[in-house]
């Protein structure tokens, strides 16, 4: 499971003056915030009425992602950054309100592979028919509606513009959040695979993308499981990847171009590059121990050469002088030693890129 915090939007869908929606949303946020903190989830309240979205006014269809208006681009950024949603919705004439339908219709890929739960409210049906209507729409957007819902008979629940205390309802809200979090984690690989910049990976079901500072926890874990063997082979613990904190990893991820390969939410391997004039430094080639020999390391080395850029004439790297398996891999793809072992026990290898002088 990914270690990244999740962001969940709590959408207040009613915009009618005097509507009960804000009171229901206040109850929801208050009820689930302690549980969200324990699950490392950020709850972000969003009132659709504050977005000032007119009825859909984009010339191009939403799947194109070609947005001309600032209000659309702003809404797109909000939804794109979210991992899941809880819609607090009334029922209007046996259906969800037009404001929610309009907000959904504005966007396309930003919604895909994200879970959505519903807190409905109303009178006779407690808003449940709005939820059934909304589930048809969100499914078409490749969202995943939860089985758990919270339905509130509003006439019995509100007092002085707030919801009366109800332990059972609070428990239902927490259960809704728990299910949403489980689904959000499970769907995260599918969301990432569909993002711009993600490419098919070398193994079935895998994909590759550039790592960001947000990936620091996963990178830290990968480094420590991969460089333990290096420490044993080279008889030294003076290996930075074994000791870097998450914050230190986050810092270098901001400057190095680091390619990572993922599958089912697991970081399988990575490599980083950093240009230096006509040279390019390559480092931190890592593959999870159980997948060594599957060709992932070679694939990452080829990916690193692509990210080096057209101005790079030579790639150089350092590895432990006793890391014979690593050295054999590098030499098999064209890297050659350029100097004797250094006092710190490492050796430098380099490779001239095609079209450059040796």
d(CA 335, CA 331): 5
Give the strand order in the sheet containing 144-153: 41-47, 6-12, 84-90, 115-122, 144-153
Residues of the chain with CATH 3.40.50.360: 6-193
Mean pLDDT calculated for residue range 22-51:
96
Percent of the residues in the chain that have a pLDDT greater than 70, as a whole number: 97
Question: 346: phi > 0 → left, psi -120 to 50 → alpha, else beta; which?
Answer: beta
Query: In three state form, how does the secondary structure of the chain look?
Result: CCCCCEEEEEEECCCCCCCCHHHHHHHHHHHHHHHHHHCCEEEEEEEHHHHCCCCCCCCCCHHHCCCCCHHHHHHHHHHHCCCEEEEEEECECCECCHHHHHHHHCCCHHHCCCEEEEEEEECCCCCHHHHHHHHHHHHHCCCEEEEEEEEEEHHHHEECCEECCCHHHHHHHHHHHHHHHHHHHHHHHHHHHCCCCCEECCCCCCEEEECCHHHHHHHHHHHHHHHHHHHHHHCCCCCHHHHCCHHHHHHHHCCCEEEEEEECCEEEEEEEEEEECCEEEEEEEEECHHHCCCCHHHHHHHHHHHHCCCCCCEEEEEEECCCHHHHHHHHHCCCEECCCCCCCCEEEEEEECCCCCC
pLDDT tens-digit profile of 238-288? 889 999 999 999 999 999 999 999 988 889 999 999 999 899 999 999 999
Half-sphere exposure of 206 (CA within 13 A, CB side): 21
Most confident of 41-45, 62-66, 291-295: 41-45
Q: Which architecture characterizes domain 6-193 according to CATH?
A: 3-Layer(aba) Sandwich (3.40)
pLDDT of residue 328: 94
pLDDT of residue 356: 47
pLDDT tens-digit profile of 281-291? 999 999 999 99
Residues of the chain with CATH 3.40.630.30: 200-352
Class of domain 200-352: alpha beta
């Amino acid at each position: 499971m990914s270690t990244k915090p999740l962001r969940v939007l709590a959408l207040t869908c009613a915009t009618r003056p005097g509507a009960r929606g804000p009171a229901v949303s206040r109850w929801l946020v208050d009820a689930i915030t302690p549980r969200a903190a324990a699950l490392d989830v950020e709850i972000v309240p969003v009132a659709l009425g504050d977005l000032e979205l007119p009825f859909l006014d984009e010339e191009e269809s939403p799947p194109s992602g070609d947005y001309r208006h600032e209000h659309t681009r702003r809404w797109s950024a909000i939804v794109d950054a979210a991992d899941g949603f809880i819609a607090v919705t009334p029922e209007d004439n046996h259906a969800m309100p037009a404001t929610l339908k309009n907000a959904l219709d504005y966007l396309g890929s930003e919604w895909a592979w994200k879970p959505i739960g519903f807190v409905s409210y109303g009178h006779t049906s407690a808003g449940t028919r709005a939820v059934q209507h909304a589930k048809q729409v969100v499914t078409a957007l490749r969202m995943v509606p939860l089985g758990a819902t919270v339905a509130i008979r509003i006439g019995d629940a509100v007092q002085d513009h707030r919801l009366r205390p109800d332990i059972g309802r609070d428990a239902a809200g927490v259960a809704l959040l728990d299910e949403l979090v489980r689904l959000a984690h499970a769907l995260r690989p599918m969301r990432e695979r569909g993002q711009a910049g993600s490419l098919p990976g070398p193994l079935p079901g895998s994909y590759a993308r550039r790592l960001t500072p947000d990936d620091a926890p996963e990178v830290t874990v990968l480094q420590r499981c991969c460089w333990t063997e290096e420490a044993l082979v080279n008889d030294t613990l003076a290996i930075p990847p074994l000791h870097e904190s998450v914050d230190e990893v986050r810092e270098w991820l901001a400057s190095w171009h680091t390619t990572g390969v993922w599958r089912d939410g697991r970081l399988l391997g990575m490599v980083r590059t950093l240009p230096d004039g006509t040279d390019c430094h390559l480092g931190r080639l890592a593959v999870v121990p159980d997948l060594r020999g599957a060709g992932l390391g070679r694939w990452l080395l080829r990916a690193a050469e692509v990210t080096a850029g057209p101005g790079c004439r030579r790639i150089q790297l350092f590895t432990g002088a006793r890391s014979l398996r690593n050295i054999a891999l590098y030499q098999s793809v064209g890297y050659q030693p350029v100097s004797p072992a250094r006092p710190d026990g490492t050796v430098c290898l380099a490779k001239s890129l095609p079209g450059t002088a040796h």
